[in-house]
Amino acid sequence: MRKWFWLALCCVGSLSRAEPVINLYTVDYPPFVIQDDPGHAQRGIAIELMSQALARSGVRAQYVDLPWKRAQMQVQTEENGCLLPLTRSPKREDLYRWVGVIDESSQSLFIPSNSKVKIHDLADLKGLRVVALLGSSMAEWLRRHLVSFSELPTTEDAYRELSSGVAAAWAVHAPVARYLVKKQGSGALPIREALKLQDTSIYLACSHKLPDDVALKLGAALKQLREDGTSARIAARYLE
């Protein structure tokens, strides 16, 4: 009888120590997260990196479909939620646990390659139509530096305005700009970096309530992917 009693206690203890299933919230942000069609699985640099990080760490996760702004609020309160990908910024710094780096790149102002506009500093943007992604860290940065700009629903909308001449400059992560030009193929409008605004890092950002051991496992796996060259090889498939 005592033998079965201790076995039952062991089973209960094992269940209580079971690692949680992480809820992953994403946003369509090519090339990091690409949602070609609602009926197809997401792909992209961040999705591939996360898949490998989960496999290496042994952490279990599920993707949850939720509007991006609501997802950001949800992760601040729930125990096992993470955002993928999220740009680290002063406004967001204390809201999340920054578990691991997905990408390190710059946010810059891009203009058509044949543009005669000269942009040496932010003062040169006066009177120009500058566009950025709605609710993005780039929009946050421009607002903080008192730059007049317009927010558009998607990065494709921003590139389209730049291509058609409606916008004079596009504020965006460099890999996003490179990917969208590549996606357009031979008919793409060539663009160039006119002004680098800041260096940034895009993260797997999680709730502060995420268990330490889970966060450490995921962070270590993402770091290993960068160090062994896997991250660079995945990015190259989308950008080169």
- % of residues, the chain, pLDDT over 90: 75
Q: Is residue 145 part of a domain?
A: yes
pLDDT of residue 17: 54
Q: Measuring CA to CA, which residue among 169, 177, 182, 191 is closest to residue 114?
A: 191
pLDDT tens string 87-105: 998 889 999 999 999 999 8
Task: Judge if 68 and 97 occupy the same domain.
Answer: yes
- What range defines the domain where residue 162 resides? 105-199
If you average pLDDT over each of 11-15, 135-139, 177-181, 230-234, which comes out highest? Answer: 230-234
- DSSP H helices in 17-84: 45-57, 68-77
Task: Judge if 205 and 89 occupy the same domain.
Answer: yes
pLDDT tens string 128-168: 999 999 888 899 999 999 999 999 998 889 999 999 999 99
CA 211 to chain centre: 22
Indicate which CATH number applies to the domain containing 76.
Answer: 3.40.190.10
Residue 4's identity, in one-letter code, is: W
